């Protein structure tokens, strides 16, 4: 394999370590087994942290011969993760409810006669209603009905 070099300042590498952590977290936090390629890339980047004076961001476990994100870095980036989770939660909830309402309002034949722009506008109308409600009330007014 041909190796190519890329240069980083310590500050740039520090940002790269954090980006790798976030990418690894997004791709693997919900899995029982981590994605091997993401895991290998994380190890590769973390293993060079000391060279860039970023060893405060990672911890080395000699038992497993692996590097891990430091508790300090995890705590710092937890704010980013929580913001992301909050955004995704409300986006997904509003859009899934909009999809549901759209499917209730229009039958298959009607949908086939609609343009993609019309479909998007209709779904967006439903979603906007939910975004507005969630911005005002959060989950306070959400209830489940058994049918």
Contact between residue 39 and residue 68 where contact means Cβ atoms under 8 Å apart: no
Q: Read off the pLDDT band of 95 (50, 70, 90).
A: very high
pLDDT for 59-71, tens place per residue?
A: 999 999 999 999 9
Domain boundary assignment for the chain:
10-69, 79-137
Structure token pair of residue 103: 């499917």
Predicted confidence at residue 3, as pLDDT, reads: 84
């Amino acid at each position: 394999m041909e190796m190519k070099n890329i240069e980083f300042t310590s500050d740039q590498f520090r940002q790269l370590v954090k980006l790798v952590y976030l990418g690894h977290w997004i791709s693997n936090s919900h899995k029982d087994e981590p994605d091997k390629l993401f895991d290998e890339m994380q190890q590769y980047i973390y293993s060079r942290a000391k060279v860039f004076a970023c060893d405060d961001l990672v911890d080395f476990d000699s038992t497993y011969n692996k590097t891990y994100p430091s508790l300090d870095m995890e705590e710092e980036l937890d704010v980013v993760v929580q913001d992301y989770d909050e955004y995704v939660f409300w986006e997904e909830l509003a859009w899934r409810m909009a999809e549901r309402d759209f499917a209730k309002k229009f039958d298959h034949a009607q949908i086939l006669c609609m343009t993609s722009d019309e479909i998007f506008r209709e779904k967006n109308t439903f979603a906007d209603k939910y975004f507005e409600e969630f911005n005002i009330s959060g989950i306070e007014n959400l209830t489940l009905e058994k049918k």
